Amino acid sequence: MQPQTQAANPALADVKNILAVASGKGGVGKSTVSSNLALALKKIGQSVGLMDADIYGPSVPLMMGLGSADPQTAQFPLEKYGLKLMSMGFIPDATKGVLLRGPMVAKYVGAFLTQIPWGALDTLVIDMPPGTGDAQLTLCQTANVRGAIIVTTPQDVSLIDAVKALNMFRQLKVPVLGIIENMSYFVGDDGKRYEIFRHGGGKKLAEETGVEFLGEVPIDPRVAECGDAGEPLVHKYPDSPVAKAYLELAEKV
Ligand code: ADP
């Protein structure tokens, strides 16, 4: 099926760019990259939305410090840190139990893209579920995706699955904008650089697959602290090396 043009979908009619942030595996930092990239894009002057397409394991509410909202009264998308946000995690469990039937992932990803009034946005960042499945297909059938960003960690076990994610977007005719290597290295208090999960796999993969290498994000314990505290690092520590890596990424995509 051909992707609809944005104009054919009123909910996305004024959204200029849709970026999908994807990974082959869970736990590589895809949601962390999505949240911090969204904030970095905002910081460079864009109007930004963040859609959490991980229907079964939504991370955006925790990372943005928001809980569930009453669907009867809440105005979706919710807003925090100047971002427009939508996630399955905003819908209370009691309501979800009734709603979560049928081909659920496709249904909810489709609903988020067609029924949430996103308004005028420069960029809508979509935090994809890990892997290669229904959500990706629905996204590409419902919206005009400008490009996908693949997040990987440096070690082979993550890189192998990153290739699968990359190939799937290519099959769906979505341009792959590039690869970002997360948890690339760690700089200790001694100033030394430690390559905990090896290093350079993301760059090598980009070369091998002919896509741009978008950069590396170091390991910083404050990333996890911020994620758990509901205030992403780009917002809380804007001068940190990790925040700078995200601002550079925002300029590139
Ligand atoms: P995914 O969305 O790929 O499943 P998450 O974004 O949830 O992964 O990240 C998994 C865990 O790793 C989280 O606890 C997050 O805070 C942590 N994390 C991600 N990136 C970094 C980093 N660069 N440095 C330190 N911790 C990180």
Substitution site in 223, 237, 242, 246 for ligand 1 pocket (most atoms within 8 Å of beta carbon): 223
Gap between the Cα atoms of 50 and 39, Å rounded: 9
Q: How far, in Å, from the CA of 237 to the mean position of ligand 1?
A: 16
Gap between the Cα atoms of 77 and 224, Å rounded: 25
Residue 99 has pLDDT above 80, yes or no: no
| 240 is an annotated ligand-binding site residue | no
What is the average pLDDT across 165-176?
A: 95
Q: Which pLDDT score is estimated for 131? A: 82
Ligand 1, atom 14, lies closest to the CA of: 224
Q: What percent of the chain has pLDDT over 70?
A: 94
Tell me the per-residue pLDDT of 17-65, one tens digit each, with 9 for 90 and over.
999 999 999 999 999 999 999 999 999 999 999 999 998 889 999 999 9
Q: How far, in Å, from the CA of 62 to the mean position of ligand 1?
A: 12
With respect to residue 197, please indicate whether it lies within any of the assigned structural domains.
yes
CA gyration radius, the chain:
17
With respect to residue 1, please indicate whether it lies within any of the assigned structural domains.
no
With respect to residue 171, please indicate whether it lies within any of the assigned structural domains.
yes
Tell me the per-residue pLDDT of 123-140, one tens digit each, with 9 for 90 and over.
999 999 988 788 999 999
59 lines ligand 1 (CB under 6 A): yes
| 223 is an annotated ligand-binding site residue | no
26 lines ligand 1 (CB under 6 A): yes
**What is the total count of domains within the chain?**
1
Question: Considering the entire predicted model, what is its pTM?
Answer: 0.94
Q: What is the dihedral of CA 241, 82, 143, 115, to 10 degrees?
A: 150
Enumerate residues 6+ apart whose C-beta is below 8 A from 158.
23, 24, 25, 28, 152, 201
241 lines ligand 1 (CB under 6 A): no
What is the number of the ligand 1 atom nearest to the C-alpha of 217? 23
What is the number of the ligand 1 atom nearest to the C-alpha of 35? 6
CATH number of the domain within which 82 lies: 3.40.50.300
28 lines ligand 1 (CB under 6 A): yes
What are residue 182's phi and psi, to 5 degrees? -95, 155
220 lines ligand 1 (CB under 6 A): yes
Gap between the Cα atoms of 21 and 130, Å rounded: 10
With respect to residue 148, please indicate whether it lies within any of the assigned structural domains.
yes
Location of structure tokens 């869970």? 26
Domain that holds residue 56: 6-252
Q: How far, in Å, from the CA of 102 to the mean position of ligand 1?
A: 31
ipTM surpassing 0.90, yes or no?
Answer: yes
What is the number of the ligand 1 atom nearest to the C-alpha of 27? 4
With respect to residue 235, please indicate whether it lies within any of the assigned structural domains.
yes
pLDDT band at residue 92 under the 50/70/90 scheme: confident
Q: Which pLDDT score is estimated for 96? A: 65
128 lines ligand 1 (CB under 6 A): no
Q: How far, in Å, from the CA of 10 to the mean position of ligand 1?
A: 34
What is the average pLDDT across 178-205?
A: 91
